Copies of this chain bind each other. A is one copy, B any other.
Amino acid sequence: MRISELSRTSGVSVPTLKYYLREGLLPPGAPTAVNQAEYSEGHLRRLRLIGILTDIGGLSLRAVGDVLDAIDDDSLTTHQMLGVAHHALGPRDTDDEEPTADVTAARADVDRFLRGRGWRVSPQAPARRSLAQALVTLRRMGRDIDDAVLDRYADVADRLAAQELSRVTGSRSRIAAIESLVVGTVVFEAVLVALRRLAQEHHSARRLSPRTRDGGLVVDK
């Protein structure tokens, strides 16, 4: 398959394919001449993966590149691979500023919570920081979260994760397993977030719609 056919079957324009090639997101095709190369089914599959990661997962091309590199690195275990994917999915810019006192405290809370749950999680996991940051925000807004609530959320997360992982372990080839894991992470997350918003809207309609507004406070604009 040459580039124009790859473009046609993948729906990605030729210039964009060349761009992906330049950026190393797509491995070069097998050269058949100085200016001719052959692309395979694998290129097509990779393109599909890139599409899922960017469109559904909302990853930047740089993050996609990190995930792809990890997939291609045979020295990594599948578990390490997932860590890389989580890393890529994490907050785009890691601000390396000095954390404030409440952030430090929240991180300690998170660590304590994870230990309490017996969850084995890498100390570098970006989700640790995300969680701490969210907790700080809640606290600053005066809506401090009690451990019972956090535990309820964690129970939910635990059950979902266990179920998903059980599908992946007995999987085919390494690359298929990895892709399935990454895609599952991203896509099931999208499913959960979408359902949560749908549920929220439903409850909001039940609770808030029949009534009129409560305050009528004038905003200083």
Contact = CB atoms under 8 A, between A and B. Distances in A.
Interface of A: 27, 40, 42, 48, 52, 55-56, 66, 71-72, 74, 77-80, 82-84, 86-87, 89, 94, 114, 119-125, 127-128, 130-131, 133-135, 137-138, 140-141, 143, 145, 149-150, 152-154, 156-167, 169, 171-177, 180-181, 183-185, 187-209, 211-221
B79 A202 contact: no
A219 B72 contact: yes
A-B pairs, 7 with minimum CB distance = A174-B215, A122-B215, A161-B199, A131-B194, A79-B208, A157-B195, A127-B197
A131 to B, nearest CB: 4
A55 B80 CA distance: 27
Given A87-B221, A133-B56, A157 B214 contact: no
B196 A189 contact: yes
A165 B120 CA distance: 32
Contacts of A203: 158, 161-162, 165
B198 A119 contact: yes
Given A120-B202, A198-B121, A172 B42 contact: no
10 contacts: A86-B197, A120-B201, A122-B214, A125-B197, A143-B184, A157-B200, A158-B203, A161-B202, A174-B217, A192-B192
> In this complex, which of A80, A94, A161, A200 has the most chain B Cβ atoms within 10 angstroms of its Cβ?
A200
B183 A137 contact: yes
Contact of A135 (B40, B180, B191): B191
Contacts of A188: 134, 153
